[in-house]
């Protein structure tokens, strides 16, 4: 027995040494701007940098307890590293391309949404679906109210506080939120698209950063007040799902099947978006939910999708967070807009979303912390990328389907609301 233990420890030590050497090779090549082109170069650098920064963040006192730990360090640390002179500018462009147009973000979100919906109980999905929309509306109403009141106190009118700060923050991110909002508002106001965008983007970026930090704080609050959280379960009284690791072995063929299902579901959402005027993610969510509720998917395939979801979360999350930091987080833009009053108004919007979603969620039979995270913070962040960061910081990645409902369906609702408000009051 002692000999076997010694051999096992020796193998573990050798494995760590080999992995450390592999990481060093990748870092040196990246630093010297010798990173291979395409997916292999971008993903290699993202995995190594993400793992290192995540390791540091999870072991940094205060940061790991109250500010999201590795998540916040990976996002802002990678943004600084790849947008400074430490690494060549070509590298940040390659990572940005891979994350955005290269489809890495879409691949990640499709894997999480497919696996998490098919992996949850049908009864939970039925109970939560209809009660969830009021949670989003509660988040929007209270965030607007809080921001409007603070705006009046500091001498800003409704347009300056709610329409230029609260609305874009709650609007579903950049591509599905700020960009169409600018198009809607520029056609009905005297402000140019460039001016509107310059005013909205800092609110989005700062709001996203605050949402990630608050997510970590809500996770800590759940530890202090256990009755407020289901530890990842949304419906009150629902027992937390305990995985039986002996029955969920990550078999290679099973993983391949799960990956194919995730890709197929994204294809389905894309095809449907050509006929239905809704975001691909929203249509994908609705399609998977219908398939789950109707029982059309064989149990063995549901388990394959869930196994793939676990594999992606466990191995690719730090890499994706690097992509978020490089492609979506502009530290200069955030710091330039970070005046005390601007920060207070953005902070008020995010807290209003948390309070509104938490209270309405409690009334609808949900745990307030889970409701505040999904219905509040996932409305106040930057869409799909923000959802990943918020759920990672709060350690509740299994809530991705509800986060995506907030970002996509909730974001679409905000565009309709914006059109209505502008036509009514402008």
Pairwise CA distance, residues 17 & 64, whole Å: 26
Domain membership of residue 169 (yes or no) is yes
Tell me if 218 sits within 8 A of 394, measured CB to CB.
yes
Pairwise CA distance, residues 115 & 19, whole Å: 29
Name residue 235's beta-bridge partners. Answer: 366
Q: What is the pLDDT of residue 245?
A: 38
Whose tokens are 């973000």? That residue is 105
Tell me the pLDDT band of 419, cut-offs 50, 70 and 90.
Answer: low
Please name which of 351, 408, 92 lies closest in space to residue 218, comparing C-alpha atoms: 351
Domain membership of residue 326 (yes or no) is yes
Q: What is the pLDDT of residue 243?
A: 42
DSSP classification of residue 366: B
Q: Can you tell me the mean pLDDT for 216-230? A: 92
Domain membership of residue 95 (yes or no) is no
Tell me the pLDDT band of 7, cut-offs 50, 70 and 90.
Answer: low
Least confident of 46-55, 188-197, 247-256: 188-197
Percentage of the chain beyond pLDDT 70 is 82
Q: Is the pLDDT of residue 193 over 90?
A: no
The pLDDT tens digits for 253-301 are: 899 999 999 999 999 989 998 998 766 777 888 888 889 889 899 999 9
Domain membership of residue 85 (yes or no) is no
Q: What is the pLDDT of residue 156?
A: 87
Whose tokens are 């400074």? That residue is 84
Q: Is the pLDDT of residue 306 over 50?
A: yes
DSSP classification of residue 12: H
Q: What is the pLDDT of residue 241?
A: 47
Tell me if 384 sits within 8 A of 105, measured CB to CB.
yes
Q: For residue 235, which phi and psi values (nearest 5 degrees)?
A: -85, 130
Range of the domain at 418: 102-425
Mean pLDDT of the chain: 82
Q: What is the pLDDT of residue 31?
A: 83
Least confident of 234-238, 339-343, 373-377: 234-238
User: Which stretch, 21-25, 171-175, 299-303, 397-401, has highest mean pLDDT?
Assistant: 299-303
Whose tokens are 């970590």? That residue is 216
DSSP for 202-258? HHHHHHHHHHHHHHHHHHHHHHHSGGG--TT--BTTPPPP---GGG----HHHHHHH
Domain membership of residue 53 (yes or no) is no
Domain membership of residue 232 (yes or no) is yes
Domain membership of residue 339 (yes or no) is yes
Domain membership of residue 82 (yes or no) is no
Least confident of 94-98, 159-163, 405-409: 405-409
Tell me the pLDDT band of 66, cut-offs 50, 70 and 90.
Answer: low
Q: What is the pLDDT of residue 6?
A: 58
Pairwise CA distance, residues 247 & 70, whole Å: 30
Total residue count of the chain as it appears in this document: 426
Name residue 366's beta-bridge partners. Answer: 235
The pLDDT tens digits for 137-157 are: 999 999 999 999 999 998 888
Q: What is the pLDDT of residue 247?
A: 46
Q: Is the pLDDT of residue 189 over 70?
A: no
Tell me how many domains the chain contains: 1
Query: Exposed/middle/buried for 318, CB within 10 Å: 0-12, 13-18, 19+?
Result: buried
């Amino acid at each position: 027995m002692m000999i076997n233990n010694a051999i096992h420890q020796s193998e573990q030590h050798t494995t760590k040494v080999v992995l450390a050497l592999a990481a060093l090779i990748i870092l040196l090549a990246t630093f010297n701007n010798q990173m291979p082109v395409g997916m292999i170069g971008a993903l290699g650098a993202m995995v190594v940098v993400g793992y290192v920064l995540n390791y540091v963040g999870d072991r940094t006192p205060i940061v790991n307890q109250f500010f999201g730990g590795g998540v916040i360090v990976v996002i802002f640390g990678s943004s600084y590293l790849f947008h400074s002179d430490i690494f060549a500018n070509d590298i940040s462009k390659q990572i940005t391309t891979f994350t955005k147009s290269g489809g890495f973000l879409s691949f990640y979100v499709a894997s999480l949404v497919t696996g998490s919906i098919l992996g949850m109980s049908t009864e939970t999905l039925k109970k939560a679906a209809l009660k969830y929309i009021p949670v989003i509306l509660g988040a929007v109403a209270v965030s607007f109210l809080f921001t409007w009141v603070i705006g009046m106190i500091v001498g800003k009118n409704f347009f300056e506080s709610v329409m230029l700060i609260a609305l874009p923050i709650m609007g579903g991110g950049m591509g599905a939120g700020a960009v169409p909002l600018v198009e809607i508002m520029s056609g009905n106001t005297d402000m140019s698209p460039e001016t509107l965008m310059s005013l909205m983007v800092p609110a989005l970026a700062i709001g996203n950063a605050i949402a990630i930090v608050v997510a970590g704080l809500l996770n800590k609050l759940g530890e202090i007040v256990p009755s407020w959280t289901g530890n990842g379960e949304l419906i009150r009284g629902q027992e937390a799902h305990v995985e039986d690791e002996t029955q969920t072995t990550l078999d290679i063929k099973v993983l391949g099947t799960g990956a194919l299902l995730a890709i197929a579901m994204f294809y389905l959402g894309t095809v449907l978006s050509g006929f239905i005027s809704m975001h691909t993610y929203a249509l994908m969510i609705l399609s998977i939910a219908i398939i789950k509720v109707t029982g059309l998917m064989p149990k063995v395939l549901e388990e394959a999708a869930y196994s793939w979801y676990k594999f992606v979360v466990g191995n690719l999350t730090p890499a994706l967070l690097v992509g978020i930091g490089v492609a979506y987080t502009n530290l200069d833009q955030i710091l330039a807009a970070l005046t005390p009053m601007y920060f207070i108004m953005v902070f008020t919007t995010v807290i209003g979303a948390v309070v509104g979603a938490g209270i309405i969620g409690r009334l609808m039979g949900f745990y307030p912390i889970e409701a505040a995270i999904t219905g509040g913070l996932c409305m106040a962040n930057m869409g799909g990328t923000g959802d990943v960061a918020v759920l990672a910081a709060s350690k509740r990645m299994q809530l991705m389907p509800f986060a995506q409902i907030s970002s996509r369906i909730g974001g679409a609702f905000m565009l309709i609301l914006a059109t209505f408000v502008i036509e009514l009051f402008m």
